[in-house]
Amino acid sequence: MAFPVAESLGTAYNTADTATTAHNIDLPGSLVNDELILVFLCGDAASGRTYSSSDLTEIFDDENAGPDATLWVGYRKVDGTEGSTVLVTGSHSEQAVGWAIRISGWDTAQAPEVSTKATGASVNPDSSSLTPTGGAIDRLWFSVYSMDIPGTTDVYPLPDTNNFEESGGSGAISGAFCSDQLSGASLDPTAFTVGTSREWIAATVSVNGPGHAWDQEGYRWRNDDGSESAATWHAAQDTDITDVGTAENIRFGFLVTPLMMPQPHR
């Protein structure tokens, strides 16, 4: 197994003192096909708002409605058709902050997964426990929160260096996320600590490492009639056989190539 890697961020998104429904979030540079783009958007729209995006697949959209703090999470597998931004559209005009994260070395067959929402009104946004698909494997984990007030984050629950916060305009919104590469079947991050008590919403996100590191290119059956170099072939490459008895010895070989080399922990 190998860990996914948070390679880079686009420029942090921040509406400052301007409310809008169109959230154009900068993508990181140097995108490579089949990498993952993970997007967090924190907003302060009125209760009952919705988000949509034709650029991203939504996996989380919820709120703490008293007062309002919203959190939206979406993703995209890089395919080379991306522009410089992705658009998330809200049904209500709002101030917002957000990020687009470029991730390499993920399991392209398994979408990122997210916990149920956690909400509260305190200085300790605390995302819920998450048990993703796949059992105890290498993963890149995120804890993220949105809070209905500008502010600062003093303590992050995950100890990696990928700790980021953004605070909007006066009376607006703030949010932060952190990540770490950890092996395991589940994670319940500890809480953030922020400077001011206010209503918040938080979630835990998991990105699986690659399910396997090799790809089978071909196979061939061989007779058990000599040494490794001298034995004769029983059939052409990639050809099924049905003419071998239950008590007859036969050899089988296959060719594999590496899909992905292990990534270092950062």
Overall pTM > 0.95:
no
Site of tokens 């079947």: 185
Band (pLDDT 50/70/90 cuts) for residue 261 is: very low
Structure tokens of 122? Answer: 């305190």
pLDDT at 27 over 60: yes
- Domains of the chain by residue range: 5-208, 214-258
pLDDT digits (tens, 9 = 90+) for 231-260: 898 889 989 887 888 778 888 887 766 544
pLDDT digits (tens, 9 = 90+) for 34-48: 999 999 999 987 777
Band (pLDDT 50/70/90 cuts) for residue 67 is: low
**Cα 265 from chain centroid?**
16
Q: Please tell me the distance from the alpha carbon of residue 137 to that of residue 178, in angstroms, as a whole number.
A: 20
**Phi then psi for 55, rounded to 5 degrees?**
-90, -20
SS3 of 30-88: the string is CCCCCCEEEEEEEECCCCCCCEECCCCEEEEEEEEECCEEEEEEEEEECCCCCCCEEEE
